[in-house]
Amino acid sequence: MTDLTHAPVAPAWLASRRKPHCLLCGGPTVFTNIYIPGKRSPAAPPPGKRRMIIYSLCESCAGKLDTLAEVIETKIENELRSSAAT
């Protein structure tokens, strides 16, 4: 299940880690988001640990977050798999 909860303003620690480009289209970012991998994810943390992956979206892509959630999750997982293979 994907949690699409939104905070009105990113905490300072998160905003300071904003990526320069939208994860999906490469446009300038407006929103900073956190992906928390599930137990079956290639990025799943060891037992007893947590892992958060920070990504950013432009205003247009963030406006479609409800329909793009699976696309975002798949893109992050694929990038993790490809980086683990190198």
Return per-residue pLDDT of the chain as tens, 86 residues: 455 556 666 677 766 766 789 999 999 988 888 888 888 887 788 889 888 888 989 999 999 988 898 899 999 988 888 876 66
Tally: H helices and E strands in the chain: 3, 2
Residues 3 and 77: their CA atoms lie apart, in Å, by 16
Question: For residue 1, what pLDDT is reported?
Answer: 42
Which residue has tokens 């293979």? 85
Contact yes or no for 41/77 (Cβ under 8 A): yes
The secondary structure of the chain in percent helix, strand, coil, rounded to multiples of 5, reads 35, 15, 50
Domain ranges within the chain, ordered by starting residue: 12-85
pTM of the complete model: 0.71
Question: For residue 61, what pLDDT is reported?
Answer: 94
